[in-house]
Amino acid sequence: MKRETRLVHSGRDPEKHFGIVNPPVYRASTVLFPTMDEFQRRRERQYPGFSYGIQGTPTTFALADALAELSGAHRAVVTSSGLSAIAQALIAFLRQGDHILVADTVYAPTRGFCTGVLARFGVETTFYDPRAGAAIGQLMRPTTKVVYAESPGSQTFEIQDVPAIARAAHERGAIVMFDNTWATPLNFRAFDHGVDVEVQAATKYLGGHSDLMMGVIAARDEGLFRTVKDGVGEFGDCVAPDLCYTVLRGLRTLAVRMHHHERSALEVAQWLARRPEVSRVLHPALPDDPGHALWRRDFLGSSSLFGVQLATDSPHAVAALMDGLQLFKIGASFGGFESLILPAKPERAVRPRTEPGTLLRLHVGLEAVEDLVVDLDAGFARLNAALGTPAAASGVGGRGAVPG
């Protein structure tokens, strides 16, 4: 079955619930046992099963099963946020004295977790160039336990050669962890490319409505899964079943939304690439993007999120553009129905950014592209007015003006 079809059916069984289409929300702290003997043997029910609310209820398991199926993983667990998934996945596999290789382009709080918590507990991090590919082998030490990748890179959208990285990591006994939030498992099959543990912020596309926080950790096999599950258990992290229900609901429309996000974001990106105010659009699905060949080889599609490098570095002109936008709202995150924009500030250790101008990050939501382009066009008019430069030809004028 195609993944779109599976998304509609996974994690539910109407026959078990009076024919009701969606699984019920089971809320629990206490789980009762009929006998003392069964209570004493409750730990045996941990994989899979539940004996106390912290391990989840049938609603949690319905979501975890659907997420594992979506990813092509052995099993998955959900956590209280994307960042908590990243932190708990990392710490589950690391001990004092270990070394970890982390892409220089990871989501900033992932970097902060490595240089903060992991450093404090005696785990050393080396940030690597996201273009490293097989050359990552040269950075590996006998103590390297995890190679952590995120592709495209956060805010700067570099594509990594994940299969080459995975081969080098596995040859030297390290596992590969991958943040698949941007593409989702619909558009990047992490486990087919050598990833061992996949993390995602379900906060973004899986939820899809900007109304919840959740993370997912999916593992390739039972051994990896147990390490993850025990690690999450040690922290006592868990997710309310009501949120699990909401994400299950989000999953049903994920493929449709992703398809729309992808097409609209590409149209907006192509329109932006033709603007004189824009020096570069950072989107791996654009043919002239440096990561395009790798993206074509490994990804099945793109998503809503990309970068735009404006030629100007005038903060007040950029503020004039952004502050007056009607449809692109200023705010963090992505994956919701509404378009977002923010000024990007990537922190890079291996190759500090020297590109002049201002980097913005856009999330293209589910609005009509024509309206989004009108909104951005008015923003460029304000930017030009603030810079005192003559207005550029808008290129706005119906859908025909937007390449499709």
Q: Which element (helix H / strand E) includes 9?
A: helix 3-9
By beta-carbon proximity to ligand PLP, the closer residue of 107 and 380 is 107
In the complex, minimum distance from the CB of residue 118 to ligand PLP, in angstroms, rounded to a whole number: 16
In the complex, minimum distance from the CB of residue 178 to ligand PLP, in angstroms, rounded to a whole number: 11
In the complex, minimum distance from the CB of residue 181 to ligand PLP, in angstroms, rounded to a whole number: 4
The DSSP bridge pattern shows strands 124-128 and 99-103 to be parallel
By beta-carbon proximity to ligand PLP, the closer residue of 154 and 187 is 154
Residues with Cβ within 8 Å of 285's Cβ and at least 6 positions away in sequence, in order, are: 262, 266, 269, 292, 295, 301, 302
By beta-carbon proximity to ligand PLP, the closer residue of 240 and 374 is 240
Residues with Cβ within 8 Å of 5's Cβ and at least 6 positions away in sequence, in order, are: none
By beta-carbon proximity to ligand PLP, the closer residue of 103 and 166 is 103
Applying CB under 6 A, among 55, 81, 184, 304 the residue interacting with ligand PLP is 81
By beta-carbon proximity to ligand PLP, the closer residue of 342 and 373 is 342
C-beta separation of 266 from 299 below 8 A: no
AA letter at 144? T
> Interior CA angle at 337 toward 375 and 320, to 5°?
30
By beta-carbon proximity to ligand PLP, the closer residue of 127 and 271 is 127
Q: Mask: binding to ligand PLP, 177-216, rule CB under 6 A, as x and -? A: --x-x-------------------x-x---------x-x-
Binding of residue 366 to ligand PLP (CB under 6 A): no
Residues with Cβ within 8 Å of 300's Cβ and at least 6 positions away in sequence, in order, are: 183, 186, 187, 188, 189
Residues 150-169 that bind ligand PLP (CB under 6 A): 150, 154
Q: How far apart are CA 139 and CA 143, in angstroms?
A: 11
Structure tokens, 125 = 């991090």
By beta-carbon proximity to ligand PLP, the closer residue of 88 and 264 is 88
In the complex, minimum distance from the CB of residue 346 to ligand PLP, in angstroms, rounded to a whole number: 12
Region from 81-89, 190-198, 259-267, 283-291 binding ligand PLP, contact rule CB under 6 A: 81-89
For ligand PLP, which residue has the nearest CB? Answer: 82
> Interior CA angle at 11 toward 9 and 14, to 5°?
70
Burial of 327: CB neighbours in 10 Å, binned 0-12, 13-18, 19+: middle
Region from 37-45, 46-54, 79-87, 235-243 binding ligand PLP, contact rule CB under 6 A: 79-87
C-beta separation of 347 from 107 below 8 A: no
Q: How far apart are CA 139 and CA 113, in angstroms?
A: 20
In the complex, minimum distance from the CB of residue 159 to ligand PLP, in angstroms, rounded to a whole number: 14
Applying CB under 6 A, among 50, 93, 107, 148 the residue interacting with ligand PLP is 107
In the complex, minimum distance from the CB of residue 47 to ligand PLP, in angstroms, rounded to a whole number: 26
Residues 329-348 that bind ligand PLP (CB under 6 A): 333
Residues with Cβ within 8 Å of 129's Cβ and at least 6 positions away in sequence, in order, are: 104, 350, 351
- Binding residues (CB under 6 A) for ligand PLP: these are 81-83, 107, 150, 154, 179, 181, 201, 203, 213, 215, 333
